[in-house]
């Protein structure tokens, strides 16, 4: 099917490339001409495992192209996926201006039937607004449908998540839209494609994927409710981690013990310095705002958010307990991205910690395997280092902010010898406490 993807951020790019990979003819559009120039050269403007390989392959097969011109993208497409950003406004609500602007253009440039698919995370009832905008601005009386198809892609694993989702959710108003979306996702639903990551039949994740068909409002709500629930699990285990510290219990064991109950599940129970990224924090904020406007005070989610904010304070307290004042002390941060396997630093707990430390007069050094470029541009006061060893040099504490695999295999003896004071705060509980103590560190984890 001819598909247009509008917006080539994380979600748009992965969506476009993966739809091409499963056999569709996809044209991706973005108003950022520099991004498009880079993509036309088959390079990708973000770090996302496997993505570049798929861009090259699908470009070469003639199934994937890029343009900065929205009219070019829309002309031959039957389905148009809207993947533009919905960043938070100052009051926490999602800024839907890009969605509206794009919808108006789609309306103006369409001269044949279009299925407009909302992929960006949007407040419930945005579909109705898209429909209204299309009705007002379509130049001819062209036929169209609106659908919601929320994404559940995790950064760093997005190329794997796309063909192996736990479920595909589509919110539609009629059978025509449903059938088109069924056709688009048929290879994934029926596992009828060559897995781009795991080679051929050896793909262990090959199984039929449930397709959930709902009305548009429900599909939109599923997205917000899912992310809120995930955030709630993280804040819950973080609150339990604090209680573990008060009682001498171990949050790893507690999480294991509760997670094996299938009704609870083992995932998203890793205690630490809290959740970041461009999805969970902003989606929760926007969900709190939406529900408030609807007349419901979502106190539970406000508490989830509050617990998450407190994670940073807890880390600073751990440092102060050991170092007393932080003024003039040098602290090293290992990991700056909001989670491993991504270069994304948006709402990263690491950078919140950096800001907090700088405010207290500390000298902050930092290193990340992939996020240095982005961090250097945005947070100029941090002293950036080439590697973990350089970061450790002459510090009085190291904080592990992101659980990058390479940090597990560091020569910790050498790290210790480089530090003024061998204190480590393991903000992701990624190291083994006993081993670190054996090396000579004063080690503090989260709830362990």
Contact 392/398 with Cβ under 8 angstroms?
A: yes
Residue 239 burial class via C-beta count within 10 angstroms: exposed 0-12, middle 13-18, buried 19 and up = middle
Q: Is the dihedral of CA 121, 290, 270, 188 positive or negative?
A: negative
Shortest separation between residue 177's beta carbon and ligand UDX, angstroms = 22
Shortest separation between residue 311's beta carbon and ligand UDX, angstroms = 9
For β-strands 79-82 and 423-426, DSSP reports them as unpaired
Shortest separation between residue 3's beta carbon and ligand UDX, angstroms = 20
- What single-letter DSSP state applies at residue 201? G
Minimal CB distance residue for ligand UDX: 279
Catalytic residue among 28, 83, 244, 279: 279
Known catalytic membership, residue 279:
yes
What is the rounded (10 degree) CA torsion for 322, 326, 330, 331? 60
Nearer to ligand UDX, 338 or 404 (CB): 338
Shortest separation between residue 194's beta carbon and ligand UDX, angstroms = 24
d(CA 205, CA 163) in angstroms, rounded, equals 9
**Which strands make up the sheet holding 383-384, listed edge to edge?**
383-384, 363-367, 330-334, 397-400, 423-426, 442-444
Shortest separation between residue 154's beta carbon and ligand UDX, angstroms = 4
d(CA 115, CA 340) in angstroms, rounded, equals 36
- Identify any residues that bridge with 249 across adjacent strands, giving them in sequence order: none
Shortest separation between residue 151's beta carbon and ligand UDX, angstroms = 5
Nearer to ligand UDX, 21 or 48 (CB): 48
- What single-letter DSSP state applies at residue 110? -
Contact 371/336 with Cβ under 8 angstroms?
A: yes
Nearer to ligand UDX, 118 or 151 (CB): 151
Nearer to ligand UDX, 196 or 276 (CB): 276
Give phi and psi for 92, each to the nearest 5.
Answer: 95, -15
d(CA 281, CA 231) in angstroms, rounded, equals 8
Residue 377 burial class via C-beta count within 10 angstroms: exposed 0-12, middle 13-18, buried 19 and up = exposed
For β-strands 25-29 and 330-334, DSSP reports them as unpaired
Shortest separation between residue 172's beta carbon and ligand UDX, angstroms = 20
Nearer to ligand UDX, 266 or 438 (CB): 266
Nearer to ligand UDX, 57 or 154 (CB): 154
Nearer to ligand UDX, 153 or 388 (CB): 153
**Which three-class secondary structure state does DSSP give residue 5?**
strand
In terms of Cα–Cα distance, which of 27, 19, 123 is closest to 69? 27
Residues that bind ligand UDX (CB under 6 A): 151-155, 227, 230, 234, 268-270, 272, 274-277, 279-280, 338-339
Residues catalogued as catalytic: 279
């Amino acid at each position: 099917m001819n598909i247009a993807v509008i917006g080539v951020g994380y979600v748009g790019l992965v969506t476009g490339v993966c739809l091409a990979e499963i056999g569709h003819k996809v044209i991706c559009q973005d108003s950022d001409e520099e991004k498009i120039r880079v993509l036309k050269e088959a390079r990708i403007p973000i770090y996302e495992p496997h993505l570049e390989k798929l861009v090259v392959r699908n470009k070469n097969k003639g199934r994937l192209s890029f343009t900065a011109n929205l009219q070019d993208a829309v002309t031959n497409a039957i389905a148009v996926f809207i993947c533009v950003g919905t960043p938070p406004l100052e009051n926490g609500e999602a800024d839907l201006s890009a969605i509206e602007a794009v919808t108006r253009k789609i309306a103006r440039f369409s001269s044949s039937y279009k299925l407009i698919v909302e992929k960006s995370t949007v407040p419930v009832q945005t579909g109705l607004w898209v429909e209204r905008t299309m009705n007002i601005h379509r130049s001819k009386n062209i036929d169209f449908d609106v659908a919601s198809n929320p994404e559940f892609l995790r950064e760093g694993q997005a190329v794997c998540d796309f063909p192996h989702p736990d479920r595909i959710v589509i919110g539609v108003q009629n059978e025509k839209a449903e059938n088109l979306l069924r056709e688009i996702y048929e290879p994934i639903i029926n596992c009828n494609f060559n897995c781009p990551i795991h080679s051929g039949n050896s793909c262990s994740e090959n199984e039929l994927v449930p397709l959930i068909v709902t009305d548009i409002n429900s599909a939109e709500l599923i997205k917000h409710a899912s992310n809120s629930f995930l955030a709630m699990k993280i804040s819950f285990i973080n609150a339990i981690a604090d209680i573990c510290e008060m009682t001498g219990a171990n949050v790893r064991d507690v999480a294991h013990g509760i997670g094996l109950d299938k009704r609870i599940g083992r995932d998203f129970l890793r205690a630490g310095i809290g959740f970041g990224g461009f999805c969970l924090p902003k989606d929760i904020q926007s969900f709190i705002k939406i529900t408030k406007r609807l007349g419901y005070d979502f106190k539970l989610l406000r508490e989830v958010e509050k617990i998450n904010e407190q994670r940073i304070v807890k880390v600073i307290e751990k440092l102060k307990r050991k170092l007393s004042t932080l003024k003039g002390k040098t602290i090293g941060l290992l990991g700056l991205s909001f989670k491993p396997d991504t270069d994304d630093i948006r709402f990263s707990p690491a950078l919140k910690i950096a800001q907090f430390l700088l405010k207290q007069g500390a000298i902050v050094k930092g290193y990340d395997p992939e996020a240095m470029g982005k961090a250097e541009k945005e947070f100029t006061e941090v002293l950036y280092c080439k590697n973990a060893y350089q970061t450790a040099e002459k510090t009085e504490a190291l904080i592990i902010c992101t659980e990058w695999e390479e940090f597990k295999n560091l020569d910790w003896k050498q790290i210790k010898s480089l530090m003024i004071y061998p204190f480590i705060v393991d903000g992701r509980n990624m190291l083994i406490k006993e081993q670190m103590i054996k090396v000579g560190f004063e080690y503090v984890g989260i709830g362990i």
